[in-house]
Amino acid sequence: MPARRSSVAESHLEQASSVSARPVAVLDIGSNSVRLVVYEKLSRALTPLYNEKVSCTLGRGVAETGRIADKNAEMAYAAFSRFAKVAENLNVDDLHVIATSAVRDASNGGEFMTTLAALMGRRGRVLSGEEEAHFAALGVISGMPGFAGLVGDLGGGSLELARIDGGHDAVGETLGLGVIRLQDDSGGKPAKALDIARERIAAAASFANRPKGKFAAIGGTWRSLAKLAQFKSDYPLHMVQGYRIEPENLLDLCHELINGKISDDLMGMIGSSRRGILAYGAAAMAAVIETGQFDEVSFSALGVREGYLFNLLDDEQKALNPLIEAVQLFNQIRARAPQLAEELCDFTSRFISATQLPESDEDRVLRRAACFLSDIGWRGHPDYRGEQSVDLVAFSAMTGIDHAGRAFLADVLAVRYMGLKHESQATKLARLVGEDGLKRARQLGAMLRVAFCASAAIPGILPSVQFEISDEGLSVLFPNDKCVFDATKMETRLKHVANLTDLSINYRMI
């Protein structure tokens, strides 16, 4: 009779089949570019497998001539032929083709879509301005579940606006304010483009009551604007999703761009396809900030494509937290014993309950995420697994988390693997999380060190650990029949927790 496999061994065999759904893709036909994005599968936490953009500028001249220029259409057709082969070779289950401003405004848009259908082997959908605004808002909801405020999606031919409140978006609107259209309408003069943008935004229903609050910016040109702001301010995390900036600082940058006062060296850090139109994106943003009087501007890398796929999920899937979904997949693929993560969640929860340390709903989500990520580096070399884990967390494509949250998780992982005196990327990101957040991260990282010392990453031990609070402080009770750890190491790790929490902590075996 064969020996029974251990739970740890069984978990490794399960990991290989953890991702079974076939890829799903969106071909997004915009006024400035056409882009194919293939995702690992349709889920609450989308992971791109393939992402390619071709700058075809289909919207160039449409406002003036009413047509997509033949040479620009031919560039798009060449891209479509290649994209069809990519999708076929990647075994894409569903390929969704959506077109926006340039195609819906062009008199030859129907002819363009007919040719596309022949090349791709499927028909595409031309979104109305209201539909485009709706799916853009859903993209923000999918990546920033708690966002409430106004969403703006800047494309080449138009600006779509929608308001999000309580996880739902109101009826949106579309304005003729795309960067290519602004460039054409202003005769290539950014200062004039600002005047045009101010006039058109002033007439928009979305700004009728001076919305204030928060503004979420979507679109490739605005993403480049965010990157420029990060480079200029020496921001430690070069990532657009979840990036927040004070409106006054962003407005200053916009006026520098409009007036041509950005150095060539700094502009050289922006992709060549965006440099020539960035000033017009700055004009649109400046008009938005001036008119809206917003308290905060956030940037979303998720927009119409992700919103379109989010809309295909059922209500139960939509309600899932994208961060937790992503870290659970990390845990399932990379941890020694994936089931240990839930035990860590319970262990740290009981510790917080016993010590009455404060924890908000957002804190609780981040703590759970840290527990699922806490063993992702075990295959690495001991001298580097901590830094590798920090990099993976800080720079991953996870959504549902802002930059402060990334910095928090990075420091938890740094402490978990390298101790309190670590020197890592997490140190550079510390300014993003703030003093209180950093203290909570270090407390959690120190407690995870206690948990791994007690359990040796073996499931079934931590549920037996108990916490008792008394006048003398906190007692941690370890089961004598399960825990076999070095006493000196455990005393040191508990001392670190005690110092970080201002508690008296001791332990004994039971």
Q: Rounded to 5 degrees, what are φ and ψ at 16?
A: -60, -25
Residue 6 has a CB neighbour count (10 Å cut-off) of 12
Last residue within a domain, chosen from 126, 144, 179: 126
Q: Quick one: which of 475, 445, 473, 477 has its CA closest to 461?
A: 477
Q: How far apart are CA 443 and CA 429, in angstroms?
A: 17
Q: Six-digit token pair at 83?
A: 């994209």
Say if CB 101 and CB 31 are below 8 A apart.
yes
Say if CB 286 and CB 314 are below 8 A apart.
no
| Residues 363 and 478 placed together within one structural domain of the fold | yes
| Residues 348 and 497 placed together within one structural domain of the fold | yes
Compute the residue count for the chain: 510
Q: Which residues pair with 159 in a beta bridge?
A: 154, 175
The per-residue pLDDT for 25 is 97
| Residues 95 and 150 placed together within one structural domain of the fold | no
Ranges in the chain, pLDDT < 50: 1-20
| Residues 184 and 232 placed together within one structural domain of the fold | yes
Q: At what angle do helices 340-355 and 434-455 cross, to 10 degrees?
A: 120
Q: Flag whether 9 is in a domain.
A: no
Q: How far apart are CA 59 and CA 410, in angstroms?
A: 42
Question: With a threshold of 0.85, does the pTM exceed it?
Answer: yes
Q: Six-digit token pair at 125?
A: 């959908």
| Residues 418 and 502 placed together within one structural domain of the fold | yes
| Residues 151 and 291 placed together within one structural domain of the fold | yes
Q: Flag whether 436 is in a domain.
A: yes
Q: Flag whether 314 is in a domain.
A: no
Last residue within a domain, chosen from 86, 105, 126: 126
| Residues 281 and 340 placed together within one structural domain of the fold | no
| Residues 122 and 155 placed together within one structural domain of the fold | no
| Residues 172 and 114 placed together within one structural domain of the fold | no
Q: Is 342 exposed, middle or buried (0-12, 13-18, 19+ CB in 10 A)?
A: middle
| Residues 354 and 487 placed together within one structural domain of the fold | yes
The CATH number assigned to the domain holding 103 equals 3.30.420.40
The per-residue pLDDT for 248 is 97
Last residue within a domain, chosen from 105, 126, 147: 126
The per-residue pLDDT for 104 is 95
Q: How far apart are CA 24 and CA 47, in angstroms?
A: 10
Indicate the number of domains in the chain. Answer: 3
The per-residue pLDDT for 210 is 64
| Residues 340 and 455 placed together within one structural domain of the fold | yes
Domain ranges, residue 205: 130-307
